[in-house]
C-alpha cells in the first residue's frame, strides 16, 4: 500500500509528536546491525546487557546463599532479582528485528509463568504496513545532577495512524544514521528531525563519579579478598599442610553467648597454641582458614577442651611446610558462612563499576 504525497502529508498532520514512552535514556541503548542481508537487528549495547546480567548474577548468588545458610527471605529476594534479570535481559536476546525475508518487523519478549518459561512476539508488523519512520526529540532531566539532556525516540508509523516504539536513546547521530538506513531500505520517509547531524556528540566527564567508583571498587576488592578469596585459597593450600601435634597455651570463649545461625552455633574464641616443626617451636593463634580465624564452628572435642582443660591440652594442627609459622586447627571451609557475606563485596564492586562507567562516559551536553 502506497500513499500519495498529499495523503502522506495528511497522515503526518494526524500523527502525534508526543513521545510514546516518555522518560528517555541518557545512554545509547542499541545500534542497528545490518551485517545480515535477510534481517537487520537493533542489538543492545554493553549498558543494557550489564543491568540484566548483574541482576541474574546477584539473584543466583543470593539464592544459593539462602539455601546454604537456611535464611529463606534471602532465597525469596534472590528469586525476585533472578526474575527481574531474566525480564531485563530478554530485550538483549530478543531484540527489535526487521526481517526482510519474512516481511515482518517484530520484537520478542520473555514470558514467565508459574508453569513454564516461554517467549513470544510482543510486536509484529508487516513491513508493507509501515508508512514512515518517526524521530521525536524529547527534553529529559538528569535527577542526579539536576541538568537536562535530549533523548531521541524512534517509532514506526503505520498507514492506519498507529505508532510502535522501536527504541529510545540520546545519540542523535547514531539514531539518524540507523533510521536513514532503514528508511532507504523500506522506501519510506523519515518524520521528525529535518537534517542529519554532523557535529559529534560532546560529553563532559564526571570526575567525582570516577573517584567514587574507583573507591567502591577498591573497597569491594578488599572485602572480596578478606571474606572469600583468602579463605578459599587457604583452604586449597591447607590440603597439602602437615598434621602436627600441638599444645594449647590459652583457649577461651570471648563471647559468653553463642550466636545461632542456620541451626548451628558459632563461637567467638581466643586461642593460642604451640607446636614443634622441623626441630623448632612455633606459636600461632589462627583457628580456621579465614582472617577472622577466631570465629568458627567448634566440634565437640574442641569445645570440651575449652570448657574442661583450657590450657596444656594436646591437639593437632595443620602446619604450612613452606612457612612453618603458619598453622591452623580447622582446615574446613565453612561454605554457608563464606557465601553469606559474598554479596557484600560484589555489591561494592558492581556499584563501583556502574558509577565509574557513568563517570567515564560522561553526560550528554
Q: Read off the pLDDT of residues 204-249 as tens digits, 9 standing for 90 and up.
A: 566 777 888 888 888 888 888 877 788 888 888 888 999 999 998 8
pLDDT of residue 114: 46
pLDDT of residue 135: 92
Handedness of CA 302, 303, 308, 311 (dihedral sign): positive
> Do 25 and 162 lie in a common domain?
yes
pLDDT of residue 304: 60
| Averaged pLDDT for residues 237-264 | 72
* 277 within a domain of the structure (yes/no): yes
Out of 167, 201, 235, pick the residue that ends a domain: 201
> Do 65 and 156 lie in a common domain?
yes
> Do 230 and 195 lie in a common domain?
no
Question: Is pLDDT at 297 greater than 90 in this prediction?
Answer: no
Out of 163, 184, 201, pick the residue that ends a domain: 201
Question: Is pLDDT at 267 greater than 80 in this prediction?
Answer: no
Q: 136 with 73: CB under 8 angstroms? A: no
> Do 224 and 196 lie in a common domain?
no
> Do 74 and 144 lie in a common domain?
yes
Residues 92, 93, 95: CA angle, nearest 5 degrees = 70
Out of 201, 232, 267, pick the residue that ends a domain: 201
* 349 within a domain of the structure (yes/no): yes
Q: 125 with 106: CB under 8 angstroms? A: yes
Of 50, 24, 25, 30, the residue nearest 354 (C-alpha) = 50
* 191 within a domain of the structure (yes/no): yes
C-alpha distances in angstroms, 177 versus 4, 156, 182, 193? 26, 16, 9, 12
> Do 168 and 143 lie in a common domain?
yes
CB neighbour class for 39 (10 Å; exposed up to 12, middle 13-18, buried from 19): middle
Proportion of the chain above pLDDT 70, given as a percent: 66
* 359 within a domain of the structure (yes/no): no
Residues 225, 241, 243: CA angle, nearest 5 degrees = 130
What residue numbers bound the domain in which 226 lies?
209-354
What is the overall mean pLDDT for the chain? 75
* 361 within a domain of the structure (yes/no): no
Q: How far apart are CA 139 and CA 17, in angstroms?
A: 13
* 362 within a domain of the structure (yes/no): no
DSSP 302: H
pLDDT of residue 261: 46
For residue 283, give the C-alpha cell: 606459636
pLDDT of residue 321: 93
> Do 100 and 180 lie in a common domain?
yes
pLDDT of residue 92: 65
Q: How many residues does this entry show for the chain?
A: 365
> Do 19 and 136 lie in a common domain?
yes
Of 245, 258, 243, 264, the residue nearest 306 (C-alpha) = 258
- Predicted TM-score (pTM) of the model is 0.50
> Do 157 and 266 lie in a common domain?
no
Range with the poorest average pLDDT among 64-78, 118-132, 154-168, 314-328: 64-78
Orientation angle between helical segments 46-69 and 343-361, nearest 10 degrees: 170
Highest mean pLDDT: which range of 9-18, 103-112, 258-267 = 9-18
| Averaged pLDDT for residues 268-276 | 83
Report helix, strand or coil for 265: strand
> Do 197 and 239 lie in a common domain?
no
Question: Is pLDDT at 320 greater than 90 in this prediction?
Answer: yes
> Do 111 and 189 lie in a common domain?
yes
* 107 within a domain of the structure (yes/no): yes
> Do 150 and 249 lie in a common domain?
no
For residue 57, give the C-alpha cell: 548474577
| Averaged pLDDT for residues 256-263 | 46
More confident residue, 2 or 201: 2
pLDDT of residue 120: 53
* 360 within a domain of the structure (yes/no): no
Range with the poorest average pLDDT among 32-41, 52-61, 117-126: 117-126
pLDDT of residue 274: 93
| DSSP H helices in the chain | 5-14, 46-69, 72-93, 172-186, 207-224, 230-237, 300-308, 335-340, 343-361
Please compute, for residue 278, the number of CA atoms within 13 A of its CA located in the half-sphere on the CB side.
8
Query: In the chain, how many domains are there?
Result: 2
Q: How far apart are CA 215 and CA 209, in angstroms?
A: 10
| Averaged pLDDT for residues 192-207 | 53
Amino acid at each position: 500500500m502506497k500513499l500519495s504525497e498529499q495523503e502522506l502529508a495528511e497522515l503526518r498532520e494526524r500523527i502525534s509528536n508526543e513521545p510514546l514512552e516518555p522518560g528517555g535514556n541518557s545512554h545509547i541503548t542499541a545500534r542497528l546491525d545490518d551485517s545480515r542481508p535477510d534481517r537487520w537487528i537493533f542489538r543492545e549495547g554493553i549498558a543494557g546487557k550489564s543491568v540484566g546480567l548483574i541482576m541474574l548474577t546477584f539473584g543466583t548468588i543470593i539464592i544459593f546463599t539462602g539455601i546454604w545458610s537456611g535464611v529463606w527471605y534471602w532465597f525469596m529476594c534472590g528469586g525476585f532479582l533472578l526474575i527481574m534479570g531474566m525480564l531485563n535481559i530478554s530485550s538483549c536476546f530478543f531484540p527489535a528485528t526487521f526481517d526482510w525475508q519474512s516481511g515482518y518487523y517484530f520484537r520478542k519478549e520473555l514470558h514467565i509463568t508459574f508453569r513454564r518459561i516461554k517467549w513470544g512476539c510482543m510486536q509484529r508488523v508487516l513491513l508493507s504496513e509501515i508508512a514512515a519512520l518517526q524521530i521525536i526529540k524529547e527534553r529529559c532531566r538528569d535527577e542526579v545532577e539536576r541538568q537536562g539532556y535530549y533523548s531521541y525516540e524512534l517509532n514506526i508509523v503505520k498507514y492506519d495512524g498507529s505508532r510502535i516504539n522501536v527504541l529510545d536513546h540520546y545519540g542523535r547521530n547514531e539514531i539518524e544514521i540507523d533510521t536513514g538506513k532503514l528508511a532507504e531500505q523500506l522506501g519510506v520517509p523519515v518524520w521528525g528531525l529535518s537534517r542529519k547531524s554532523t557535529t559529534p556528540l560532546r560529553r563532559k566527564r564526571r570526575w567525582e563519579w570516577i573517584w567514587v567508583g574507583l573507591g567502591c571498587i577498591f573497597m569491594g576488592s578488599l572485602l572480596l579478598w578478606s571474606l572469600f578469596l583468602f579463605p578459599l585459597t587457604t583452604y586449597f593450600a591447607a590440603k597439602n599442610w602437615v598434621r602436627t601435634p600441638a599444645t594449647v597455651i590459652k583457649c577461651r570463649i570471648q563471647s559468653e553467648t553463642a550466636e545461632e545461625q542456620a541451626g548451628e552455633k558459632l563461637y567467638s574464641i581466643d586461642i593460642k597454641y604451640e607446636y614443634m616443626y622441623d626441630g623448632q617451636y612455633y606459636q600461632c593463634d589462627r583457628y580456621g582458614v579465614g582472617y577472622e580465624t577466631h570465629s568458627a564452628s567448634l566440634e565437640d572435642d574442641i569445645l570440651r577442651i575449652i570448657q574442661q582443660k583450657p590450657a596444656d591440652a594436646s591437639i593437632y594442627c595443620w602446619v604450612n611446610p613452606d612457612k612453618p609459622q603458619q598453622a591452623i586447627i580447622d582446615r574446613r571451609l565453612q561454605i554457608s558462612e563464606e557465601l553469606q557475606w559474598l554479596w557484600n563485596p560484589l555489591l561494592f564492586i558492581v556499584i563501583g563499576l556502574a558509577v565509574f562507567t557513568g563517570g567515564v562516559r560522561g553526560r550528554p551536553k
